Copies of this chain bind each other. A is one copy, B any other.
Amino acid sequence: MATLKYSRQRESIKDFLMSRQDHPTADTIYDNIRIIYPNVSLGTIYRNLTLLENIGEICRITVENGADRFDSNVKPHHHFICRQCHSVSDLEMDNIDYIKDVASENFDGVIERYVTNFYGLCKDCAKNTKSA
């Protein structure tokens, strides 16, 4: 299985992701890496994001309607997605891993992991909106 070779583009992508807390999309990452490597290809962004995900250095966040987001924080945690501004943020919350056990109780297979996303209005949007 092909030994990994260094690439400055990949390093740059990882560095960029680590500098951001807003879980950017591949496209946003592309725009930013292009500042440093103007010839970088969008394919290179996607290839490296998938590679970094596969070796566990970053994680991918799949959200309803919209491009995947990427996160350099690989510690298990949950995300909040604002239905108005579509921002994605980390939630600092108590562990809820026991829901895996709750789900396993009446299930005849093996539950290995779970993903929970929370939706609503972020702080800023809640401030400027009367609910609906």
Chain A residues in contact with chain B, CB under 8 A?
Answer: 60, 62-65, 78, 80, 82-83, 91-94, 96, 99-100, 102-103, 105-123, 125-126, 131
Contact = CB atoms under 8 A, between A and B. Distances in A.
Taken together, the copies of this chain in the complex come to: 2
Q: For A62, A110, A125, which residue has the most chain B Cβ atoms within 10 angstroms?
A: A110
B105 A123 contact: no
A93 B82 contact: no
B119 A113 contact: yes
B120 A113 contact: yes
Contacts of A122: 109
A124 B112 CA distance: 15
Contacts of A125: 109
29 contacts: A62-B65, A80-B103, A80-B109, A80-B111, A82-B109, A83-B112, A91-B103, A91-B106, A92-B106, A92-B107, A93-B102, A94-B105, A96-B96, A96-B99, A99-B99, A99-B116, A100-B118, A103-B118, A109-B120, A109-B121, A109-B122, A109-B123, A109-B126, A110-B126, A112-B120, A113-B118, A113-B120, A114-B119, A116-B116
